Amino acid sequence: MIVYRQIRKIKASGFVGRMFFILSFFHSFIFSYAQRLADVPEYSKYIQAVDEYRPAPGQFVNDAPEYEPGDTEADMIRKCNERIAGKSPSDADAHIVALGGWGGYITFHFDHPIVNLPGERDFAVWGNAYQEMTNQVFGGMNEAGIVMVSKDVNQNGLPDDPWYEISGSCDVDSVGKVVYNYEVTYQRNPMGDIPWTDNQGQSGTIDRINAWHPQEYYPEWLPDGLTFRGTRLPDNMFDLTATVPRSFSQWYYVLMGFRYGYADNLPNFVDKADATSYNYEGCGIDISWAVDDQRQPVTLDAIDFVRVYTGLNQKCPAPNWWGETSTEIIGAEDLHLEASLQHGDSNFAL
């Protein structure tokens, strides 16, 4: 059951009343008068439930979570919930959910809105990124996923309101290398390499790595011709094979990390030997980084839904080694639960 808690008043430019949004010429302000709250005995800082799971093809698809003959989209969403809902990344029963190649996504919500506290990371998305063992680069296994946020403005409890992308560090560090309004379509090819084409005149394949992942790579419960749209991040794969002895590894490719603003981009823990040293800075997301489809900043007082999709379209050229870059997540967390719960009863002034 979902209930809605009203904000008693919103004040803007001398006007006090109930408003759904305020738009200025240079900046968007989205302040809803209702907040999505689940009717639960105790609120949690972790994901309550997955709303959508639509991965692109990939080597972990149909395996994390496992597809079984006859499974529907609802079944796969239930299996995602079993892996990540209500869990921290250090829980023994937390398991990754794979999003496949570029564009594959998952949508989830908490049992409360997450408030936007100025100047702070508001929530974290946990993945399985790690620092490469030779410490030659920043990161090493960083399969960055783009994060989006949405507010339940129409109060129907569904993720069908406008979405806003979190503008990460690539927007300032890699100007001219990020592809906006990118689009990819994948075609079925049972038990073979999965072909794709994009709207930039390019094509390629998601290649099979039979030695490690022998299952079908195209999501079995989804239709043929899957098309995804969004932002493509710049390739972050580098070949460091020449820097390590063959006794260490036949191949040594790494995926460099981006500074901030993505999922599965930096390790969950500052100290990998300490499962309590959560990397809130590196994995945390500031809702204030949200932008609209014109890349203009949007100010949201709180959000109700989070979406993560694979932001990289690249594959390792070494045969049977890494394959495609695929974002994985293992959970998410509200970084200031008490403030989020107080938000629904607060007065706001713009």
Q: How sure is the predictor about 256, in pLDDT bands with cuts at 50, 70 and 90? A: very high
- The pLDDT tens digits for 48-63 are 999 999 999 999 999 9
Give the C-alpha separation, 294 to 92, whole Å: 42
Contacts 24+ apart (CB under 8 A), 128-135: 128/96, 128/264, 128/268, 128/328, 128/330, 129/257, 129/264, 129/265, 129/266, 129/267, 129/268, 130/267, 130/272, 131/267, 131/272, 132/254, 134/240, 134/243, 134/244, 134/252
Question: What gap in Å lies between CA 257 and CA 263, rounded to an integer?
Answer: 11
DSSP 37-80: EE--SS--SB--EEEEEEPPS-TTTTBTTBP-TT--HHHHHHHH
Edge-to-edge strands, sheet with 15-17: 15-17, 10-12, 348-349
Token pair in block for residue 235: 């390739």
The pair of three-digit structure tokens given for residue 95, joined into one six-digit string: 């398991």
pLDDT at 25 over 70: no
Work out the average pLDDT over 313-324: 90
Rounded to 5 degrees, φ, ψ at 283 are: -100, -5
125 touches 147 (CB < 8 A): yes
Residue that the structure tokens 């049977």 belong to: 320
Give the range among 40-49, 119-128, 317-326 with minimum mean pLDDT: 317-326
Q: What is the Cα–Cα distance from 95 to 189, expressed in whole angstroms?
A: 28
* Structural contact between residues 82 and 267, judged by C-beta atoms closer than 8 angstroms: no
Please give the single-letter amino acid code of residue 63.
Answer: D
Q: What percent of the chain has pLDDT over 70?
A: 88
Mean pLDDT, the chain, as a whole number?
89
CA atoms of 88 and 269, how far apart (whole Å): 12
Give the helix ranges, DSSP H, for 184-291: 280-283
Asked if residue 77 lies in contact with residue 227, where contact means CB atoms within 8 angstroms, the answer is: no
Q: What is the DSSP letter of 243?
A: G
Residues making up the chain, counted from first to last? 350
**Closest C-alpha among 229, 231, 44, 84 to residue 76:** 84
**What was the pLDDT predicted at 329?**
98
pLDDT tens, position by position, 27-85: 455 554 446 678 888 999 999 999 999 999 999 999 999 999 999 999 999 999 999 99
Whole-angstrom distance, CA of residue 284 vs CA of residue 265: 11
- Nearest alpha carbon to residue 232 among 142, 306, 309: 309
pTM: 0.89
